[in-house]
Amino acid sequence: MGDHRATAKVRVNGAPAEATLFCTDPPGAANGGGGDGGELRWRCAGGAAAERVLSLDADVLGVEARGKEVVVKAFVLPADAAARSVSCAAGAGKGGGGRRRRRRDYVFEMAAGEDAAAAWCDRMRGSLDSLGRPKRLFILVNPFGGKKCGKKIYEAEIKPLFEAAGVNVTMQETRYQGHARQVASSLDLARYDGIVCVSGDGVLVEVVNGILQRMDWEEAMKIPIGVVPAGTGNGMAKSLLHSASKTYSVPNAVFAIIRGYSQSLDVCTIVQGRKKFFSVLNMTWGLVADIDIESEKYRWMGSARFDFYALVRIMNLRKYYGSIQYVPAPGYEAYGDVVKQVENCTVECQEQIGKSLCSYQGPSVEFQGSEWRSLDGPFVSIWINNVQWAAESIMAAPGAKFSDGYMDAVIVRDCPKADLLALLMKMGDGSHVKSPYVTYLKVRCLRLSPGQLVENPKRGGIIDVDGEAIARGEGTYGKNQKQDVMGYGPSIQMTVHRALATMVASSILCLYWVFGYTCRM
């Protein structure tokens, strides 16, 4: 690894200073490898003010040469002592406490003239390029999600950051439900270094499902997918930022995409006969599903609709007959009853007319030799999670990991209304799973056999996957509005494929987003 240091007399935003540029050549830099890129330090003349340091990786978006000036386009924590001091330059570093990063330009006027400015600019660009940051992104913006602010958020907060980082973007708005899936199924992925979803979790789910229906799914799934929160739930964006101890915000999500670190993600295959659906977040049945789907009529309330309708449902609590069978993760074998005989469930490649290849059909695993266990209802709620956060304020499964090969099941079979309300109020920090009324499991595979409402045997429930109803029983909300993906009643199996997808994350502990996605996690 080579180290390069250069020192020069400059004026930083008009103030005289001495600056030092320290660049590193990370291992594998020529192949799009990773490293810290180096740093830029300066101190005002006179030495009274503290030294200011910008990490090229953690603080810098891009750099531009303008004559004898080098403009460093940064995304920094203002007035943060822990972030290595306050700028001495006139007007820089003032105002704004807290941990929210802000866009700021630092203009370095080189005393040695234009050649020195060009040399410093080239050196910093080379260091940034060696980090493997994306250069070309395809962005899907959902203008209908949440409070319908997706396009506004893109123009005001997202586009300027990508422009400052020199990222070439192709933006397309989604026009209808399922549009993102269609786009992802036919997009020329060779033209892009990644796909970015500006939405709630719905567009991400569609993109994953679209990629997995491609004939080249195995190669296509290597492309990194980024998420910028602009919807109602935003569970994936929250989970990614929380895992890296980053503040949940649109700019932080965008900067994570620009920096280009990546995180493997499990994908769950949901099967009923020959019907299948792919999930990246969760599957719910009972209370949580009813709140999510039936509160659609109050979408104008934003995320407050969930809190409001949760109170409505608790006051008129429902329980459902049914059962679940599952293969427990190590350490969870004591829960439930042993199942002596389990019918094997496999999915074979369906015939593709005119094609010899097959789209993704689910993980090729067999569970005949595994010990299955079961739990019988009635149930208040069954909640199967792939990531920690179901929404920006709901930590559904505090023990969930992105790529451990397991799903985290949160099961409530019986709970007094007062305790249930208290339980829901603890979901902000995940402490609800400590309730004696909650059974918390990690499972490799799970089958749900949904039954009828205890209070009304003629009425079924709703099975909700990643915010969309895939099956509805008789008499449920929206039953006659559209044809669901699956039927209500026959068992539905959910199986994990470990680390199938690649998400953009914020943590330096994650792998780098490799330019051209030539490497696989």
Quote the CA–CA distance of 225 and 195 in Å, as a whole number. 5
User: CB–CB of 446/285 below 8 Å?
Assistant: no
89's CB contacts (< 8 A; 6+ apart) are 12, 13, 14, 15, 17, 44, 52, 106
139's CB contacts (< 8 A; 6+ apart) are 154, 158, 169, 170, 171, 172, 195, 196, 198
Quote the CA–CA distance of 520 and 222 in Å, as a whole number. 6
Quote the CA–CA distance of 251 and 345 in Å, as a whole number. 44
User: CB–CB of 127/3 below 8 Å?
Assistant: no
481's CB contacts (< 8 A; 6+ apart) are none
Q: Which candidate, 314, 183, 331, 272, places its Cα nearest to that of 465?
A: 272
Peptide bond before residue 328 is cis, with ω within 30 degrees of 0: no
Residue 47 has, within 13 A of its CA and on its CB side, a CA count of 0
- Identify the three-state secondary structure at position 502: strand
Active site residues: 201
Quote the CA–CA distance of 398 and 401 in Å, as a whole number. 9
Residue with tokens 């030092």: 20
